[in-house]
Amino acid sequence: MSLGDLIKFLGDNPYYPVFYFFALPLAAFLALKLAKDEGHLSPWCNFYTGLIYLSVIPGIFSLLLNFYHLLFEKTSIYDVNLLTQFLPIVSMFLTLYLIKKNVEFDKIPGFGKMTGFVSMMAGIMVVFFFLNKARLIAFTYIPWLWVILLLIVVYLVVRYGTKTIFK
């Protein structure tokens, strides 16, 4: 199954993405009402950590995919699937907004590391997109396993390099 097949499957079966991306803000809203001023305590902050990861990873992926489709593939804005390309972004921002109303993000474990990781991955993927479109490296002819391994290697090099530079 390719990524295009997965997006087509989710577009053909809208119940899955609609349920998932409505359940995340609903869970954050219920946690906001149930854990009033207790979001920094142990069971709630772990719950918020899970909600953040479950909403931010598809949301950032959807942002990058939209960026790629609209700028590089020259896909028309009228041809995008709202359920698979914009609902994750809206759900991510709504979930983060509801969580922020109850607890500061600094008190949620792992959130600071995740923002650095997501921003670094987004930057690396944007560089890969530009390299692909400039025809410097043709990622379309490389198997996906090699692209993922190259992405991991570049991430480790950038992470090690930034740690070495800033120490």
Task: Provide the residue-wise pLDDT of the chain in tens; the chain has 167 residues.
Answer: 677 787 788 888 889 999 999 999 999 999 888 877 766 667 887 888 888 888 888 888 888 788 777 776 777 777 777 888 889 999 999 998 998 888 877 777 766 666 666 666 667 767 777 666 666 655 556 666 776 677 777 777 777 766 666 66
pLDDT at residue 147, rounded to an integer = 66
Q: What are the angstrom distances between the C-alpha of 63 and each of 25, 86, 87? A: 18, 8, 11
Instruction: Report the C-alpha gap between 72 and 84 in whole angstroms.
Output: 19
At how many degrees (to 10) do helices 87-102 and 42-71 cross? Answer: 150
Number of domains composing the chain: 1
Q: Would you say residue 17 lies in a domain?
A: yes
Tell me whether residue 119 is in a domain: no
Give the angle 112-114-119 at the CA atoms, nearest 5°.
105
Give domain status of residue 134, yes or no: no
Residue 150 placed within a domain: no
Helix (H) or strand (E) holding 32, with range, is helix 15-34
- Whether pTM exceeds 0.75: no
| E strand residue ranges, the chain | none
pLDDT, tens only, 55-98: 888 888 888 788 777 776 777 777 777 888 889 999 999 998 99
Any domain includes 83? yes
Is 138 domain-assigned? no
Whole-number Å distance between alpha carbons of 8 and 2: 10
Report yes or no on 140 lying in a domain: no
Cα distance between residue 167 and residue 162, in whole Å: 8
Q: Which residues of 32-61 are buried (b: 16+ CB within 10 A; e: fewer)?
A: beebeeebeeeebbebbbebbebbbebbbb
- The parent domain of residue 72 ranges over 3-103
76 found inside a domain: yes
